Structure 1
Amino acid sequence: MTEASPSRILIVEDEPKIARLIGDYLTGSGYIPDHLDHGDEVIPWLNDHQPDLVLLDLMLPGTDGLVLCRQIRDRWPQLPVIMLTARVEEVDRLLGLELGADDYICKPFSPREVVARIKAVLRRSQALPQDRPGAAGTSGELVLNEDGWQALADGQDLALTAVEYKLLKVMMDAQGRIFSRDQLMDHMYRDHRIVSERTVDSHIKKLRKKIAGIWPEREVIRSIYGVGYKYEPEPLDGP
């Protein structure tokens, strides 16, 4: 997609009125909407098309949104996903415990809010420099590219979600400081949405897993029992 091309948004929603309303607002905002109404259609469609974002309803006929979000994350980790849900109790899972969606919107919602959320997520994802390598930095160094919301370990992109990036940045900006889960949640979710402490633990677990993919023997984020977490990388082993 060239810079001047309109972004393509896949709407996965089985309620025709909602899908049509969102599609009309997206078209009016300069986007190209596509629509699917059955969960089983999503992965085959994505195999043949390249949308810029997926707007995914939680409750779908066939494969449900939770399973689909996990499948999309596994196959297309850089593809932004915003979940639509009427089940507030699922928010923790949507944001990190299982899936790591980029954002969620609770029904009922304003279509203007949907467009605003899509714009915000696309700004972050399209800022990523997909075609140029990140700065290599020093061996053993973790570098943040703030323009692209990108974290590079030994020059390799960790492919973080926006929430994971914010969590890592907060801790890296105050290396050695111990953050409680409540403090980390305040930094991660500026809109004061209600999520459980388990969400932070899940994001930390996934951050560690991604970092361990490059530094399998090196601890970077430390747990402080009964308190919280801090960023304090172990030094590299000498020769």
Structure 2
Amino acid sequence: MNLPRKRTILAVDDDQKTRQLLKLYLEKHQYVVQLAADGESFRHGFDRYRDELSLVILDVMLPDTDGFALCQMVRQRAPMLPIIMLTASADDTERIVGLELGADDYIGKPYNPRELLARIKAIHRRAGMVGEGAPRYLNFAGFRLDRLERTLSSPDGDKVVLTAMDFDLLRLLAEHPGQVLDRARLMEQTRGRDLGPTDRSLDVQVSRLRQRLGDDGKQPTLIKTVRASGYVFAVEVQASHE
């Protein structure tokens, strides 16, 4: 699923005041916002606006389900649609679970609307980062990364299912083969924020990306860990226009 030009967001939160404030704030910044109060209304909204959506926002705690179940549903039906999860828990476990299920980012509640807006803008900005005249394809180890269509083809020619965050991380690594990219840089350029001292979200993301690529986590050949530094894309990459 390619990102549409319209910036339409579907947000689910069971608190009416929070929903309305979110809608008012984002609409001031030229976003179209559709709201849902629970899982059922979110599913109806997703069915109705799916082709228009550029991002969804999921509250973890809902009266009839939880954000994790909705995250799984979205991932099954729209693998590349960005997901931001809202969590009131200070426990990193919820955040890690969300990332493992395919969320692209998370933000703690209560949150500053400006921070949420910055995360949304960063995701939308990364979705259109291919510059005019730049090679469209990155080829490595039999894989073919299409930076325009934001897709990845396997050596067998099959499409590899990636989330938007998977794609952004892979593209950044493949654009700098053989270079050690430190964790702080990867975090800033894929999530648009600083890496906290106990933040494991990037490591979870790398682990998930390795699984997508069939790269052995214990002895990886594509994405290697550089101890106390970051990660390196350890295979040759060839850029091409065709």
Q: Tell me whether the two structures share a fold, i.e. TM-score over 0.5.
A: yes
Contiguous gaps of at least 5 residues in structure 1: 129-133, 235-239
Letter in 1 for 2:69: V
Letter in 2 for 1:62: D
Contiguous gaps of at least 5 residues in structure 2: 131-135, 237-242
State the TM-score, normalized to the length of structure 1.
0.70
Fraction of identical pairs, as percent: 32
Counterpart for residue 45 of structure 2: 45
SS in structure 1 opposite 2:204?
Answer: helix
Counterpart for residue 104 of structure 2: 102
The structure that has the greater radius of gyration is 1
Letter in 2 for 1:110: N
Higher RCO structure (Cα 8 Å, ≥6 apart)? 2
Alpha-carbon distance change, 126 to 19 in structure 1, aligned in 2, over 3 angstroms: farther
Name the CA distance, whole Å, in 2 between partners of 1:41 and 1:177.
46
Q: 2:83 aligns with which of 81, 84, 92?
A: 81
SS in structure 1 opposite 2:127?
Answer: helix
Q: 1:210 aligns with which of 209, 212, 217?
A: 212
Counterpart for residue 69 of structure 1: 71
The 8 Å contact of residues 144 and 169 in structure 1, kept in 2 or not, is answered as no
SS in structure 2 opposite 1:25?
Answer: helix
The 8 Å contact of residues 14 and 63 in structure 2, kept in 1 or not, is answered as yes
Alpha-carbon distance change, 124 to 149 in structure 1, aligned in 2, over 3 angstroms: farther
Name the CA distance, whole Å, in 1 between partners of 2:26 and 2:164.
22
Name the CA distance, whole Å, in 2 between partners of 1:225 and 1:126.
32
Q: Superposition pairs for residues 26-175 of structure 1, below 5 Å?
A: 26-50=26-50, 51-89=53-91, 90-94=94-98, 96=99, 98-125=100-127, 135=137, 140-143=142-145, 145=147, 153=154, 158-169=160-171, 171-172=173-174, 175=177
The 8 Å contact of residues 71 and 103 in structure 2, kept in 1 or not, is answered as yes
Name the CA distance, whole Å, in 1 between partners of 2:176 and 2:122.
26
Cα displacement (A) at 1:103: 1.6
State the TM-score, normalized to the length of structure 2.
0.69
Cα displacement (A) at 1:227: 9.4
Alpha-carbon distance change, 103 to 203 in structure 1, aligned in 2, over 3 angstroms: closer
Name the CA distance, whole Å, in 1 between partners of 2:10 and 2:213.
30
Letter in 1 for 2:118: A
Deviations 1:73-116 (A, max 9, x none): 1221111111112113122223x3x2231222222222233223
The 8 Å contact of residues 11 and 36 in structure 1, kept in 2 or not, is answered as yes
